[in-house]
Amino acid sequence: MDKEIAILAPANGNVIALSKTSDPIFSKETMGQGFGLIPADNQVVAPISGQITTIAETKHAIGITTANGLELLIHMGIDTVELKGAPFTISVHEQDTVKAGQPIATMNLDSIKSNNLDPTIIVVITNTNDILESLDITPGETKAANTVAHAYLKPVTAATSKKLSYEELAAFIIANVGGPENINNVIHCITRLRFYLKDESKANDDVLRNQRGILDILHSSGQYQVVIGDGVANLYDEVIKKLPNLDDSSTTTNNQNTGKNPVSRAINNLIGFITGSMSPVIGVIAASGIIKGILALLTLPQLGSLLNVKSVPYITISAMADAAFYFLPIWVGFSAAKRLGSDPIIAAVIGGIITMPQLVTWGTAGKVMFNFAGLNFQFLNYTYSIFPMILAAWLACKLEKWLKKVLPTYLQMIFVPLITVLIVATITLVITGPVIQSIANGIAVFINWLVSVSGWLGGFIIGGFYQVLVIFGFHWGVVPLVAQQIASTGQSAINAIICSTMIGQGAAVLAVAIKSKKTDIKELGFAAMISAFCGVTEPAMYGINLRYRRVFISGSIGAAFGGLITGLMHGTMYGFTGGLIGFSSFFNPKNPSNLSSFYTFLIASAVTIIIAFIVTWFWGYNDSMAMGKKVAKAKRPGTI
């Protein structure tokens, strides 16, 4: 970031030292370093460029935050709060982006003086202690927008200590990704805000990386990813509140990839689209998997068959869990349409059509729709499916936009959904659905077979290296494949191995938390451990493990041996969850008495935890190690 910031005079007048102002709070620099200006006229301009973050209810003060994180307060007059806004006219609004020298307010000097109040404008840097190295001021007569001070910022060496609220952190992030005008769209997954920016070079990576509450910054899959951790959903809500003018039509994949390789660009855009379509539904299907596993546990003969599979409670709760998977095309279609900026209801209706009970019955029975040129076109069962609906949502988006161009406005409300639903649903049922579903099911079966055949070697390799994909966000390319495996075969051998990688990173950060005598490391370590054991490794990885690289390697070593055990014993998972919390997904819902995969989970988890913990304790970490920088900016594939 820039180490020097020029501060302009907020008005025509006489610049004086802060110590010469009449307010004891400001003159003693209690609020921070700055200067005063005795104004000669009524116009007030912005001393710096940035985002308007505060406007006092009584209009006497305006706060501006720069992209560098400098927070400047323009306080118009001394004790003018008593006038309840009467002398002031504000020409900007909160969240506006302003340029240095831009008019932002007027103040009626005669009105202020007539009330026996001092009209001096105070300009202070309110986060002086956090950000300011020094401030040089040029006192004397000046014109508005002339440079009258230079702020020299501290070098970025450690995370900012001030903990921000979600609202404050949202404003900070927006300002440092280039402001609202640089944001095409923003989505989130389990741990990350994923921005689609017009120009990624305008984002301040170092400033964001070193703010408390932000674990790391990544450039991947055409997205500017801000890694937050468990609180990402709450932060996302605040970000959206501060972007009221975000245009849903701009939610299409950002094609600004500066790489010259069209294949790389296409892959990045595809991953970005899948990410946006799948991420909102991951939590729901993971929760459903846990419920199914617990139900299977309660039917175990070894536990006295606490639930009968034909009982009303079992069937009712099973329906609650099955709904997320059974109607998966509806949820994915709705999510994909929002991602594309088209009508999500139209996509959801198409998803509802292909999961209609009658069509599902026909698909299960292989009923023929029609015969053409000796070919039988059959109904298929699209419950639990993903990829046919993603393509259907894309087709619906393209057709919907074309129809809005050719149809008169007064016909669009009825005929756009009518034509779109009929055409896209027909194409999906007759052509694209059978082709894509066959390919997807084939890939899912092949992956399960490959992992099974490769045995311990495949488990060792996947277990050792899977979390590397998580570093760059490429694991989202695996997520839909795992979901498709479970949908088509009812199980996923690769997910059982992935489960060990989460446990490995959790065990490694647990060792750090126990061994370290540093309070902040302990606090972060225990919190990150819980998150990793619950299936979310980013807080552990970006908060500690990757910053002490040996810790990450130690966790991966443990996971490699856990994967080896899983592959050797041919363990598999029947749900979408991961980590220790995913234990219930190792029970086979169709054959609860078969506990082979559950025993595999217990052994593999124990091996993973013991090895990762021991390697971290004796090799991976000690308090004398210097914490490294957060993960360096990753170049997207195909870029220079």
List the domain boundaries for the chain: 4-153, 166-258, 275-620
Question: Among 7-16, 347-356, 460-469, 596-605, where is mean pLDDT lowest?
Answer: 460-469
pLDDT at 626: 63
pLDDT beyond 80 at 249: no
pLDDT beyond 50 at 253: no
Please provide the size of the chain in residues: 640
pLDDT at 558: 97
CA angle, 259 then 260 then 264, to 5° = 65
**What mean pLDDT do residues 128-135 have?**
85
pLDDT beyond 80 at 420: yes
- Give domain 166-258's CATH superfamily: Glucose permease domain IIB (3.30.1360.60)
pLDDT at 130: 77
Sign of CA dihedral 482, 530, 279, 590: positive
pLDDT at 1: 46
**What mean pLDDT do residues 416-424 have?**
95
Question: Among 104-113, 163-172, 191-200, 221-230, where is mean pLDDT lowest?
Answer: 221-230
| pLDDT band (50, 70, 90) for residue 603 | very high
**What mean pLDDT do residues 260-272 have?**
63
Q: Which residues contact 624 (CB under 8 A, 6 or more apart)?
A: none
The residue type found at 385 is: S
pLDDT beyond 90 at 88: yes
Pick the residue with more confidence: 289 or 100?
100
pLDDT beyond 90 at 575: no
Rounded to the nearest 10 degrees, how much is the dihedral formed by the CA atoms of 634, 637, 639, 640?
Answer: 70
**What mean pLDDT do residues 37-62 have?**
92
Please confirm, yes or no, whether 75 is among the known catalytic residues: yes
- Which of 18-32, 305-319, 607-621 reaches the highest mean pLDDT? 607-621
Q: pTM to 2 decimals? A: 0.55
Average pLDDT taken over every residue of the chain: 84
Sheet strands side by side (includes 43-45): 43-45, 103-107, 88-90
pLDDT beyond 80 at 365: yes
Q: How far apart are CA 398 and CA 400, in angstroms?
A: 6
**What mean pLDDT do residues 131-154 have?**
91
| CA distance from start to end of the chain | 22
**What mean pLDDT do residues 79-107 have?**
91
Q: Which residues contact 92 (CB under 8 A, 6 or more apart)?
A: 52, 55, 62, 98, 104, 105
* Domain over 4-153 is classified CATH 2.70.70.10: yes
Q: What are phi and psi of 308, to 5 degrees?
A: -95, 135
pLDDT beyond 70 at 158: no
Which of these, 30, 20, 107, lies nearest to 62 by C-alpha position? 107
Pick the residue with more confidence: 553 or 325?
553
| pLDDT band (50, 70, 90) for residue 349 | very high
Q: How far apart are CA 22 and CA 19, in angstroms?
A: 8
3-state secondary structure at position 633 = coil
CA gyration radius, the chain: 29
pLDDT at 218: 83
What one-character DSSP code corresponds to residue 302?
Answer: G
pLDDT beyond 50 at 546: yes
Question: Among 238-242, 376-380, 500-504, 624-628, where is mean pLDDT lowest?
Answer: 624-628
pLDDT beyond 50 at 600: yes
pLDDT beyond 70 at 2: no
Q: Which residues pair with 123 in a beta bridge?
A: 35, 74
Q: How far apart are CA 508 and CA 234, in angstroms?
A: 28
The residue type found at 551 is: V
Q: What are phi and psi of 437, to 5 degrees?
A: -65, -40
Question: Which among 75, 188, 219, 475 is annotated as catalytic?
Answer: 75
pLDDT at 500: 94
pLDDT beyond 80 at 506: yes
**What mean pLDDT do residues 245-260 have?**
50
3-state secondary structure at position 365 = helix
* CB 44 within 8 Å of CB 105: yes
pLDDT beyond 90 at 79: no
Pick the residue with more confidence: 487 or 347?
347
Question: Which tokens is 145 given?
Answer: 């927008």
